[in-house]
Structure formats: structure tokens, C-alpha cells
Amino acid sequence: MPGVTLEARELSKWFGSRTAVDSVSFTAREGEVIGLLGPNGAGKTTTIRMLSTVLAPTGGEFSVAGVPSSRPADIRARIGVLPESAGYPAHQTGLEYLIYHGRLFGLSRDEARNTAVKLLGQVGLSERAQSRISTYSRGMRQRLGIARALVNDPDVVFLDEPTLGLDPAGQREILTLVRTIAEARGTTVVLSTHTLPEVEQVCSTVLILDKGKVLAAGTVADVTSTDANRQSGHLRVPPAQVARAKEVLGGVAGVSVLSDERRDVIAITATDGMNAALSAVVDAGIPVLSFQIDGARLSDAFLAMTRGSTS
């Protein structure tokens, strides 16, 4: 079994009286891509900032590659981070930027240049290495940021919303890069994101946060199954029958009617499967035009767990 590279125990952060992160504990192993999920304000960025030693935890402790949180400079030497709102010096070229950061991590001038050239190639920016960063697109800046996060050959990489603001092609490029980092280098990647399909695509495990607390942790399959008993679905009936169908569904035990997304579609959730709901509508003589079960997806589990925060 791969070794543990990241371990957080009861990690907490308060800003005054406000709790940003509340007793978060988890572990991550070599080559693992762990998805950090949660609505806005869930504590994802604060968690990453604590683990990357930029913010001091109010409580709890953590270790990275066996280095305890009491040695922040040594931890920073072993991690790479792409911050959420990373800025870039517009007048520097991509190559200069990576050489500078390589040198800050103790590489000699030649080592820093060689590493920068290699990383620019890996993130597909070789041809723009000598261009000023001000001429880079957002996707290119994100790729440059990922290259910077790898400049010290880290044990753990934290990527905070790396696909934010990118078009689908740009998102795909970044996700491919994330997978490559984990697979080829054996690096642990902590990926914070809002985009759930991304997590299903690349993450081996997930951690769902809400209001600073861990709501669920485990593999994607584990987390999805925690909400498996509660299924959601969409029932389409003729518009004239919608009111009656709602009335019928309201009388079925364990079934809740959600909101009207469309005039002829009723969104429902059921705690004991959908059969009773469907039977009740059919028995009432209401024609069912279509019926779709949404459950068994990470997004359903996520939305169910964080309903109060995401609505």
C-alpha cells in the first residue's frame, strides 16, 4: 500500500468568532488524487492554506511527507500549490517566472533553467516560454501556475479551483495534467473544485466539506452510496395533470415533491426507492410521459448533503 503523504488531525481555523474549518481530519497517500468539495465558504481554500502553511491553524495538527506542521519551511519545500486567485507578474516571461521560483526553492541557476524548460514542455507552454505572461490566456496562466507548483518536485500538490473560468477544452487539458502528475510522478494531488464531473473523472477519493465540517470522506463510490437510499428523479406528465400528480405523490409515504423546474416536470425525492411513487401515479390513471432516476451520482450525494448551503 502506498505511504501516507498527507495527514490532518482535527484541523480547525477560526477568524474571530467565525469558524472557517472545524476539526477536519483525513489522510492521503502517494499518487492519490483527493477531491476537496464543498459550496462557497465551505472551508476548502482555508484548509489548503493551512496545509500549505500560509495560514496558521487555530487547532489541530498535520504532517506532509512525514514533516510535522511545526516545521513550516520544511513543509513548503515539499509541497506545490496553485492558489485560487494566483496572480502573475505581467512583465516576466513564463521561463523567467519559473526560473525565479526554482531558485527560491534552492535550485542553482542552471538547475532552475533546466527544470523550467522541462516543466514548460510538460504543460505545453514551450513555444510561449519567452513571451510575457501578460500575453498568456487564462488557461495558459493556469498551466504555468501548475508548472510552478511542480518546480520543486513536490510530494503533495494542492490545486485550488484550477479549472475556474476555463472553457471545456481548457478544463480537459488541466484535468489530463492533474492525472498525469499523480500517475507519472506518484505525487499526491489535493484538488479543490466546484465542478463535480471533474472529481468523478480524476479523483480517487473525495472529502465533502460544508460550513467547515467534513460531511463525507472516502472513495467516490463510498460517498455516493452514503446517499443511495435517498433517490431523486424527474417525472413528466401532461401539464393538465401536474397538480393532480403532485397531490397523489404528496400522499405517498417517504416521497417529497421538490420544486417545479418545468411546467410539466415534477422533481421528487424518495427515501425508499421510486417504485411506490411511480405506482401511485400510474394507479391514479395519470399518464407518465417520462420518468428518470437521478441517483447514484456524486453530484446527487453532494447536493443532498449540502442542500442548505447550495440552494
> Is 262:289 a contact under the CB 8 Å cutoff?
no
Instruction: Give the shortest CB-222-to-another protein separation in angstroms.
Output: 32
Closest to another protein by CB, 84 vs 264, is: 84
Hey, which residues between 25 and 54 contact another protein (CB under 8 A)? 49, 52, 54
> Is 80:151 a contact under the CB 8 Å cutoff?
yes
- Among residues 307, 294, 302, which one has the least CA distance to residue 224? 302
Q: Residue written as cell 516545521?
A: 71
Instruction: Select the residue interacting with another protein from 1, 40, 87, 168 (CB under 8 A).
Output: 87
- Among residues 128, 174, 183, 185, which one has the least CA distance to residue 151? 185
Among 4-12, 68-76, 184-192, 259-267, the segment contacting another protein (CB under 8 A): 68-76
Instruction: Select the residue interacting with another protein from 5, 13, 199, 306 (CB under 8 A).
Output: 13
**219-225, Cβ contacts within 8 angstroms, sequence gap of 24 or more:** 220/35, 220/298, 223/298, 223/301, 224/296, 224/297, 224/298, 224/300, 224/301
Closest to another protein by CB, 83 vs 218, is: 83
Residue 15 engages another protein in binding (rule: CB under 8 A)? yes
Closest to another protein by CB, 128 vs 141, is: 141
- Among residues 190, 185, 167, 214, which one has the least CA distance to residue 22? 214
Integer-rounded Cα Rg, in Å, for the chain is 23
E runs forming strands in 83-145 = none
Among 77-85, 179-187, 272-280, 303-311, the segment contacting another protein (CB under 8 A): 77-85
Residue 101 engages another protein in binding (rule: CB under 8 A)? yes
Closest to another protein by CB, 103 vs 194, is: 103
Instruction: Select the residue interacting with another protein from 81, 146, 156, 270 (CB under 8 A).
Output: 81
Distances (CA, A) of 9 to 25, 27, 47, 51: 4, 9, 12, 11
Instruction: Select the residue interacting with another protein from 27, 74, 164, 200 (CB under 8 A).
Output: 74
Give the residues lining the site for another protein (CB under 8 A): 13, 15-16, 49, 52, 54-56, 73-74, 76-79, 81, 83, 85-89, 91, 100-101, 103-108, 148, 152-153
